[in-house]
Amino acid sequence: MAEAQAVETEIAVLEPMVKRQESQVAELQSKLPRDEGPPRLSLEQTLALQAASGLIDRKAFSWSILLSRLEAILPDDVRVLNIGIGRLGSEGKTRSAVIVDTKSQQNAQARQSGNVNLTLEVVGQKPSSITDLIARMNESGPFSVQPRTQSLMENGEVIFELDVEYDPAKPSRLVKKKESKDREEKEQ
């Protein structure tokens, strides 16, 4: 019995201390910053992330193949200044990052089919060089091109911004023609 009374006395002494410590813990926990999960992304960042994820998931977009196809059809007097993936809204501004216009039904259909929407900024010595590039791209197979803007530089060169739907799965007809030409030259 004495032992039980000693334990009860000890409990009576410790109880207020435990309550004080519990209130101190609660007060300190209330001062801690709340974990709100991962940082929130802006709409632009979210769209970029979704587009990048889609490209990774499909594993169908190869920069090397795209660049070699462009090189095969690019006229000698035309240079590529910028390649952007997608387009941001109706502002007409492109980014060199991965951005998709989710409002466009055409872009949605292109993503489902494995196509990639590109914006090319090209410069040529004369407008006919760029129109020749557009014709070559449209005839090549994997590209479908629409000019968006054009402007004249002070040195007389012309800059075009082109909307391009690129189907990486389609074979490039002009590349094959060039390869067969090379084989014919080697055989002679």
Task: Express each pLDDT in 120-165 by its tens digit.
Answer: 999 999 899 998 999 999 988 888 999 899 888 888 889 999 999 9
Q: Give yes or no for residue 3 having a pLDDT over 90.
A: no
What tens digit of pLDDT does each residue of 39-63 get?
788 888 888 888 777 766 555 467 8
Q: Which residue has the tokens 């030409």?
A: 181
Residue 44 per-residue DSSP state? H
What are the tokens at 180?
């067969």
Position 186 scores a pLDDT of: 52
pLDDT at position 173 over 70: yes
What local confidence, expressed as pLDDT, does residue 122 receive? Answer: 93
Find the helix packing angle between 173-187 and 127-140, rounded to 10°.
90
CA-closest candidate to residue 118, choices 99, 91, 141: 99
Domain ranges for the chain: 62-174
pLDDT at 174: 61
In which order are the strands placed within the sheet that holds 143-152?
Answer: 78-85, 116-124, 158-166, 143-152
- Residue 188: its pLDDT value, please? 52
| The CATH number of the domain covering residues in 62-174 | 3.30.1360.100
* 3-class secondary-structure state, position 20: helix
155 phi/psi in degrees, rounded to 5? -80, 5
Q: What is the pLDDT of residues 72-107, one digit of tens each?
A: 888 889 999 988 876 433 333 333 333 344 334 444
Segments in the chain forming alpha helices (H):
2-31, 43-58, 63-73, 105-113, 127-140, 173-187
Those residues whose C-beta lies under 8 Å from the C-beta of residue 44, and which sit 6 or more positions away, are 88, 99
Q: Which amino acid is at 9?
A: T
Average pLDDT, the chain: 75
